[in-house]
Amino acid sequence: MTPGRRTAAPRPARDASASASALRTLLDPPQVAAILRAHVRLDGRPLAPRRVRIERCWPAGHGLRVCWSFTIRGRAASTLCALPARPADLNPRPSGPPTLINPPELRGVRVPVPRFGVVIVSPDCDPALPQLATLLNPVAMRARLQRACRPLAAAGRPVGARLGCRLLGYKPGRRAAIRYEWFNGRTTLRVLGKLHHDRRGQRLISLHRRVQQRLDELSGGRVRVPQPIAYLRDLRLALFEWADGGSAADGLGVDGRRLRAALDALAVLHQVELDDLRPFTLEDECAVVRRWFGVLGRVEPPRAAQVEPLVDALLRWSRRIEPGLRRTIHRDFYEKQLVWNGSTTTVLDLDTLARGDACQDLGNLLSHAYLHRLQAGESTPGFARLAEQLLAHYERRLGRVPRETVAFYCASSLIRGGCLHSLRTATRRYALPMWRHAAAILRKQGATATAARSQARAVAPPTSRVARAV
């Protein structure tokens, strides 16, 4: 599709849709608690979840994959997921009773709920990731990991006698990240395991090696990526050395060393030359925005109506954006993707690495920095000055970047990020401020006078009736 033929934002689905009603139920914590009490039993009794939260959700065909967290018996949060059910999934199958392990996590949960067209599963029962049941079992993984980690032992980092594991990240049906810890007296050896539903992990091992070779040439070891250890083919598990240090999110002040290190790392990454990366275009960015707006329209039409003028204005603006210099881009670059230990910066999660406009990474970083300020309760009126200082620091490394293109990608990230956070319990309150900031960017860039007036009405100030209702 050519830039001149970009379509307007899809209109939200009607409230009367039965499937939309079911999706809204799966995103409402009190109703989720009722569903879990009715369908999941633990020790012969109905599950009694407390403090239910919608952690994350993703589009999946005409449905959603939803992750819930909740406390059990007053202890730390456990995780269950609702996956769109295939016809075979809705037929009851005999299975063992769920168990509760320590730390509190439910295992062995697979419960079809035909009324909502979903199957509730614990991560170890994900039908698309059957390996998780083994990967989350320390007893089953101990010998395999001992053999895989022999290179670390040979380098003076002995593997301990006791193994622990923790699920760090999980996208139902797609991928998972697991931290393995070997305890050996006073020391702990950690490794990171990444599981994908396909053979992507094997390609990721090769990609990390190639990227690290080029990063060494460009930065002399100051910028790194997690070092690959091994790929366990039968389990589809890619193993990487653990990156020790602190998150760059801890130093987002204007003069923070970690912030400067984050921008320096991004400038180095953008100089890595890899010819076989898939392209990520301006049209792809617009498609991501349309996709998340479509999800919001199906489950929360009133909120979608608020953000619809912003989406339309952004898509019109995209016709004016000239493609920038093609570089290796991260595509999900923000402060929590970096580990800083004082001398080196480690860039995490190369799964989304692509060939595209460097302004995409810069705009994404700026939008997350704005969200970080909201979450920290810091003042946001002076954010424009901070953003300019960030760009100036980057430009001292790689030269001038077009401000309009960076502003476009920042607004795009704020709009889709607001759609995403609208569907999460803990961060829902940040959606409106993110959209307001996107509206300010659009008005400043002259996205059209009509759109600006519509945005002012749709994304109302905090004291308005609309904001209070949300």
DSSP states of 245-302: SEEGGGG-STT-HHHHHHHHHHHHHTT---TTPPB--HHHHHHHHHHHHHHHHHH-HH
Instruction: Show the CA angle centred on residue 163, arms to residues 250 and 167, nearest 5°.
Output: 50
At residue 451, the pLDDT reads 47
CB 117 within 8 A of CB 22: yes
pLDDT tens string 322-357: 877 899 999 999 988 999 887 889 999 999 999 999
At residue 408, the pLDDT reads 97
At residue 14, the pLDDT reads 42
18 versus 435: the higher-pLDDT residue is 435
> Which three-class secondary structure string do you get for 43-97?
CCEECCEEEEEEEEEEEECCEEEEEEEEEECCCCEEEEEEEECCHHHHCCCCCCC
At residue 8, the pLDDT reads 59
At residue 62, the pLDDT reads 77
pLDDT at 464 over 80: no
4 versus 43: the higher-pLDDT residue is 43
At residue 44, the pLDDT reads 84
Q: Mean pLDDT, to the nearest integer, of 412-424?
A: 96
pLDDT at 449 over 70: no
43 Cβ partners below 8 Å, 6+ apart?
97, 100
Lowest model confidence (mean pLDDT) among 40-44, 185-189, 325-329, 353-357: 185-189
Confidence at 466, pLDDT banded by 50, 70, 90: very low
Confidence at 218, pLDDT banded by 50, 70, 90: very high
- Share the mean pLDDT of the chain: 85
The region that residue 253 occupies, defined by phi over 0 for left and psi between -120 and 50 for alpha, beta otherwise, is beta
341 versus 295: the higher-pLDDT residue is 295
Lowest model confidence (mean pLDDT) among 17-26, 85-94, 234-243, 361-370: 85-94
At residue 309, the pLDDT reads 96
pLDDT at 469 over 50: no
Q: pTM for this structure?
A: 0.87
Joined tokens for residue 362: 């810069």
Percent of the chain with pLDDT over 70: 84
The span from the CA of 322 to the CA of 265, in Å, is 25
Joined tokens for residue 159: 């593997």
pLDDT at 455 over 90: no
At residue 448, the pLDDT reads 46
Q: Mean pLDDT, to the nearest integer, of 400-410?
A: 94
At residue 102, the pLDDT reads 61
pLDDT at 198 over 70: yes
At residue 341, the pLDDT reads 84
pLDDT tens string 130-175: 999 999 999 999 999 989 988 887 666 767 678 889 999 999 999 9
At residue 145, the pLDDT reads 92
Q: Mean pLDDT, to the nearest integer, of 435-445?
A: 94
At residue 184, the pLDDT reads 74
**Top CATH class, 245-470:** alpha beta
378 versus 228: the higher-pLDDT residue is 228
Q: What's the CATH number for 128-242?
A: 3.30.200
CB 458 within 8 A of CB 308: yes
At residue 11, the pLDDT reads 53
At residue 4, the pLDDT reads 45
At residue 327, the pLDDT reads 94
At residue 373, the pLDDT reads 87
Q: Mean pLDDT, to the nearest integer, of 111-119?
A: 91
Q: Mean pLDDT, to the nearest integer, of 28-35?
A: 96
Query: What is 135-201 written as a DSSP string?
Result: HT-HHHHHHHHHHHTHHHHHTT----SEEEEEEEEEETTTEEEEEEEEEETTEEEEEEEEEESSTHH
Q: Mean pLDDT, to the nearest integer, of 64-93?
A: 80
Confidence at 316, pLDDT banded by 50, 70, 90: very high
pLDDT at 200 over 70: yes
At residue 442, the pLDDT reads 95
Q: Mean pLDDT, to the nearest integer, of 233-257?
A: 75
